[in-house]
A and B are shown apart, each in its own frame.
Chain A
């Protein structure tokens, strides 16, 4: 299993994710956004951060980078793409995932641990989680309020394309357990082929007991298996 982490000006979770991948025996390579071709890779990771200072719209300028064309090709060939936080925003701006991410409901940057329910485990990213298990991961974003019209929400629900939902510690998915106002408490979604995952929480930040938890590790172990 080989991965490529794309580094944009303003990325700041790129090295964290590299550590997490390598800890799970995935051979990783950092790729600068200005390259035109991806190295031989099974998985592309778009890391969190503030690419291009969030100019214009979050993820917007990064979605026009030179490397993106090759990432779109990689994705269209059914190979794996993971976008975390700003990476999710970039995936949405490239059109690889549907919907949009608005500013948080209370217009505040949020940085805290939240509970998540793993809603879909039948994909390359979540197969090592138990179905409907409740995990805890940190969020750190200002624009994480997933928004989609009713048609798209129904499509996501009916086709089981939602990977993670915000919940409380006993798994209740409702308004009170929704930190940022996301439609249907959505924290992460998959594309139709389930080879692209975009998520706002940061699994790479909880991969070691020393970092107060390991709830992020199964995601990387799932990837190693695929």
Chain B
């Protein structure tokens, strides 16, 4: 089973890199850009058929390794 995890900085944490990307897009002429947040994306192949169990495992992985829970959020997507 494939599970994706998207790690981004929490809304109220400053993301200078995302901000610069957003500003660059505006400079390139995309005036309707409101904001950009940059994050990390993980694709995890799991040897597990039960969706609930799989989700639990990835939640645990996200807590223990993928995110710094002080400043980052993690969104888990089951496929």
Contact = CB atoms under 8 A, between A and B. Distances in A.
A52 interface: yes
B20 interface: yes
A61 B18 CA distance: 11
A56 B38 CA distance: 9
Interface in A38-69: 52-53, 55-56, 61, 64, 66
B17 interface: yes
A136 B61 CA distance: 47
B28 to A, nearest CB: 6
A52 B16 CA distance: 10
A53 B20 CA distance: 10
- Interface majority SS (helix, strand, loop, mixed), chain B: helix
A223 to B, nearest CB: 31
A56 B27 contact: no
A61 B26 CA distance: 12
Nearest to B21: A56
B17 A55 contact: yes
A66 B38 CA distance: 23
B37 to A, nearest CB: 13
Contacts of B38: 56
Contacts of A61: 20-21, 24
A10 to B, nearest CB: 11
B28 A64 contact: yes
Contacts of B24: 61, 64
Contacts of A55: 16-17, 20-21
A56 B17 contact: yes
A64 B27 contact: yes
Contacts of A52: 20
Interface in A59-83: 61, 64, 66
A66 B20 contact: no
Q: Pick the most buried of A53, A61, A66: most chain B CB atoms within 10 A of its CB.
A: A61
A64 B27 CA distance: 8
Contacts of B20: 52-53, 55-56, 61
A44 B6 CA distance: 41
A55 B25 CA distance: 13
18 contacts: A52-B20, A53-B16, A53-B20, A55-B16, A55-B17, A55-B20, A55-B21, A56-B17, A56-B20, A56-B21, A56-B38, A61-B20, A61-B21, A61-B24, A64-B24, A64-B27, A64-B28, A66-B27
Given A61-B21, A64-B24, A64-B27, 7 more contacts: A53-B17, A55-B16, A55-B21, A56-B17, A61-B20, A61-B24, A66-B27
Interface of B: 16-17, 20-21, 24, 27-28, 38
Which 4 residue pairs spanning A and B have beta carbons closest together? A55-B17, A55-B20, A64-B24, A61-B24
